[in-house]
Chain A
Amino acid sequence: MSAKVVDLAKERRKRRRKTGWTLQEIHKRAAELQARYAAIDVKEPDSLVSGDMHKLLQEEEEEDDDDDK
């Protein structure tokens, strides 16, 4: 009988999703993400805007994301 092959990285990710993140882990990930962004040499557009406030205001409460319901 052959041994079961397990993708460790995938299994660890699954476990992480089940248990959530500790505050220490969150802090560490935030610092890493900030450092990653700091290393990217790109100028932010002057027109940095996303979204549509008027559309949001027209929505009914809790009418979030149909594909999530």
Chain B
Amino acid sequence: MQRRHLSEVVISAGRINDDSDMQATHQDAETRYDRLRRQALATVQQIAPSSIHYGLIDARAQQAAESWRSASDRRVDWDWTNGFKTLKYRHPKRFEVAVWQTGKLIALSFGRPTYNGNRLRLDLIEARPASLGDRDSAFPRIVVAYDVYARLIGAREIRVMNPINAEVRAYYERLGFEYVRKGNYVHREIR
């Protein structure tokens, strides 16, 4: 049986002597974890309805998110092009996902494993503002993708950081997450 575990994807921890070593290690991590990201997305795509498509946060997704800027009911002013570019470079072990419904972007999310890899944090999630049209629920689809990635890297817990308001927090709790006031996140174990 084919098994995936963190031990298979641990980055070479050799001594870093200069920038070229640093870049090689970084690139190695990017390559290894990119495989796992794509594996996670391919897995959830197999069980998704035909109207739903999972992808990375690529130029097409970033362009689609640009249209969210004009929405009067948008809750945040995040820059999914330049801001995400920085996060992407800093975090080669990240998880990223764009969810499309019938060809229209409905949500973006970025997360990363914690230092020792025991937890996977969902650091950012933004769904398309309601004024731009009806959409299916995005969070359950995204969490299933995080669940797959968490198992691939050997994480034992998913944390969703900083729900924007009590309504969103209660929604997460309804889906089985537990709120932790200290730290302002919801979490659940991977079992």
Contact = CB atoms under 8 A, between A and B. Distances in A.
A7 interface: no
A64 B112 contact: yes
Contact of B115 (A36, A49, A51, A69): A69
Among B6, B46, B78, find the residue whose CB has the most chain A CB atoms closer than 10 A.
B78
Nearest to B135: A44
A68 B44 contact: no
Contact of A23 (B4, B164, B191): B4
Interface string B55-74: 00000000000000000010
A13 B152 CA distance: 16
B169 to A, nearest CB: 9
A54 B83 CA distance: 8
A45 B162 contact: no
B28 interface: no
A49 B164 CA distance: 6
B138 A44 contact: yes
A53 interface: yes
B121 A65 contact: yes
A27 B39 CA distance: 11
Contacts of A2: none
B147 interface: yes
B106 to A, nearest CB: 10
A46 B75 CA distance: 10
A50 B163 contact: yes
Among A33, A50, A64, find the residue whose CB has the most chain B CB atoms closer than 10 A.
A50
Contact of B4 (A20, A31, A42): A20
A50 B175 contact: no
Contacts of B156: 17
A39 B61 CA distance: 29
Given A19-B5, A42-B171, A50-B160, A61 B90 contact: yes
Interface string B129-168: 1100000011111011001100110101000111111011
Interface of A: 13, 17, 19-27, 29-31, 33-34, 36-38, 40, 42-54, 56-57, 61-62, 64-65, 68-69
Given A33-B147, A57-B83, 12 more contacts: A17-B156, A19-B3, A20-B154, A37-B143, A44-B127, A44-B138, A50-B124, A51-B122, A51-B125, A61-B90, A65-B115, A68-B118
